[in-house]
Amino acid sequence: MVSSERTTSRRGGRGPKIERIAERYDIAGLGDDLVEAWVGESGEQRSLRELETDVNKRLVRAALDQAGAHVLDGEADNFYRLLTSDDVTAGSRTAARNSLREKGVDVDQLAADIVSYQSVYNYLKRHRNVERESTDDDQTAAESGLDTIRKLRSRLRTVTTDVIDRLVNANAVFIGSYEVDVDIRVTCTDCETRMTPTALLSSGHCNCERPTDDTVDE
């Protein structure tokens, strides 16, 4: 389990988040690995989204290692998916958190330490002053918007669960084991395409015929 001397603050601390988690979980060379992967020193350049995933998988594996937990190959990566994926049900996420606690992991600290692509971007650009030739897959308006939606959905799920739990404890309502799912869909009323925000922002369009420069009103 993470030492209490090193977890006095869940989210605060000095320095960039990448360096704080590297120190907290003894992840050697994390910052240099990010720089190398982003500029493509030893191969193809990796996107911010890919680097975000790489960091968080290493983070979960390091947390399990510090707790002395024995896990199967791929189990740490699956824990990361269960903790963060939009497609995971609340029940599966809760089960994953409980399993990590049983293995000795400080789940609340781990959840606070999971990084976003924005944290990776800030570290590379502001703290390491790294530039690279191609920036096509860097931070975009779509990525930023999707990140905001994910945070709001997660927050709504948490708030709803907290409200139900309080009402159950107060004997105001009764319910057995339950899950809270937040299902967001965007519907185009012209072509009647219905999709998730992720699908819309990834594709960039619905099924309507996209206007050309000649058809756009002056």
pLDDT tens per residue, range 2-35: 333 333 344 455 789 999 999 999 999 999 999 9
Last-in-domain residue among 139, 159, 183: 139
Domain that holds residue 161: 140-209
Report pLDDT digits (tens) over 82-136: 998 877 787 888 899 999 999 999 999 999 999 988 889 889 988 999 887 654 4
Same domain, 174 and 100: no
User: Domain check: are 158 and 59 in the same one?
Assistant: no
* Beta pairing partners, 137: none
Task: Indicate if 111 and 34 belong to the same structural domain.
Answer: yes
Q: Looking at the structure, tell me whether residues 87 and 168 fall in a common domain.
A: no
User: 113, 139, 165 — which closes off a domain?
Assistant: 139
CB 92 within 8 A of CB 82: yes
Residue 217, in any domain of the structure: no
135 plus 147 within the same structural domain: no
The larger pLDDT score, comparing residue 147 to residue 33, is at 33
pLDDT at 195 over 60: yes
Q: Is 29 inside a domain boundary?
A: yes
**76 and 182 share one domain:** no
Q: Within this chain, do residues 79 and 148 fall inside the same structural domain, yes or no?
A: no
Could you give the C-alpha distances from 133 to 39, 46, 127, 138, 141, in angstroms and in order? 8, 13, 18, 11, 20
Residue 216 in any domain: the answer is no
Based on the domain organization, do 91 and 170 belong to the same domain? no
Task: Report the run of H or E that residue 186 belongs to, with start and end.
Answer: strand 186-187
Q: 39 with 86, same domain?
A: yes
Q: Which of 139, 172, 199 is the last residue of a domain?
A: 139
The total number of structural domains in the chain stands at: 2
19 lies in the same domain as 114: yes
Instruction: Enter the tokens of residue 149.
Output: 């939606």
Q: What is the Cα Rg of the chain in Å?
A: 21
